[in-house]
Amino acid sequence: MTTRMISKLAVPIMAVSIIILSSCTVSKSEGFAIFLTEEDISPDQMEALSHVEIADQPIISMEDIITYNAKTHELQLTDSAFERISQLEVPVRGKSFLVCVDKRPIYWGAFWTPLSSVSFDGVTIWKPPSSKELKVITLELGYPSSSFYSGEDPRNNAEVMKALEQAGKLTHELSITSLSNLPHSMKGYELYSWLEDSQWHFTLITGTNRNKTLEEITSTGDYISQSGWVKAHVVGVDKIKDVLSRLPESESVFWCDGMRLVPTAETNINIQLPPEQIGDAIKEYADRCGLDFIITMP
């Protein structure tokens, strides 16, 4: 959701709160919940309205949530709640929702279908396939990618985080170093390397069809999400060997050069393969781990 969206929704949110408080005698203990709009208002109309009324019942209640990841904004849902979302009818132009605390709207967004070719610059929840093994949905920024989003990120709202924490639902990112095994990736993993301050840096990241950005690859910190997304940034040959040792046997790893990255502004960082001696040592170790390790040449 953009700053423009938030400012235009200041009045709608107040109006919704007034409507709710004057017409309902609901306990203030409901906490975090996601509601559809009462009249199924489309996302392209939300900004123009002076007020928005929420549906009688939430599409996702606090009871439906097993955990909410504060880092990735992933919601692990109960089986019944996940099935409800996967069966939700979502038009190609989205289906509006409001994130609420005690039935008071905090910010709005839209359910979106991955089949849509229409872009959106707000907060989204992508409709998941019902066959998905992990019952996880994510509050994303923009569609079809975060590059379509502009403005401030409303998902870290203090009231939302407090409500989830008080209900015992809030978790933080999982640590790669705390896991003995990393998850299998349908598209394998990508490995990137670069020389910085006379040290070799490495990032192992979940493989995708899209090209990664330089910032995405070189940013510090690492995490694994509940849906299986992995990013590990380490410094030194021994550290990347340790990360590789946590991958499942026969996992594909593609050691990529900078040609696969999205072009960015001028930078001193040059994604490249290390000298042959270092590269051979890492490949030999990966082979001993039973990995399908492929070095892509420029």
**Ranges 3-17, 174-188, 240-254: which has the least confidence:** 3-17
Average pLDDT over residues 37-66: 93
Q: What angle do CA 150, 112, 20 make, to 5 degrees?
A: 85
**Cα-based distances in Å from 259 to 87, 218, 288:** 40, 15, 28
Q: How many CA atoms lie within 13 A of 245 on its CB side?
A: 9
Categorize the per-residue pLDDT at 29 as very low, low, confident or very high, splitting at 50, 70 and 90.
low
**Mean pLDDT of all residues in the chain?**
84
Q: Provide the token pair at 255.
A: 């050691």
Q: What angle do CA 176, 147, 71 make, to 5 degrees?
A: 30
Q: State the pLDDT at residue 18.
A: 32
Q: pLDDT tens for residues 123-143?
A: 999 998 876 667 889 999 999
CB 203 within 8 A of CB 218: yes
11 against 226, higher pLDDT = 226
265 against 34, higher pLDDT = 34
Q: Provide the token pair at 24.
A: 């309902």
Categorize the per-residue pLDDT at 178 as very low, low, confident or very high, splitting at 50, 70 and 90.
low
Closest CA to 259 of 207, 203, 212: 212
Q: pLDDT tens for residues 241-255?
A: 999 999 999 999 999
Average pLDDT over residues 29-45: 93
Q: pLDDT tens for residues 77-119?
A: 999 999 999 999 999 999 999 999 999 999 999 999 999 999 9
- High-pLDDT (> 70) share of the chain, %: 82
Largest distance between two CA atoms of the chain? 72
In the block, residue with structure tokens 């199924």: 40
Average pLDDT over residues 6-25: 36
- On the question of pLDDT at 264 being above 90, the answer is no
DSSP secondary structure string for all residues of 167-193: TT-EE-PBPGGG-SSPPP-TT-EEEEE
- On the question of pLDDT at 298 being above 80, the answer is no
Q: Provide the token pair at 38.
A: 């009462």
Q: State the pLDDT at residue 263.
A: 66
Q: Is 247 helix (H, G, I), strand (E, B) or coil?
A: coil
Q: State the pLDDT at residue 208.
A: 84
76 against 80, higher pLDDT = 80
Q: State the pLDDT at residue 50.
A: 78
**Ranges 80-84, 269-273, 294-298: which has the least confidence:** 294-298
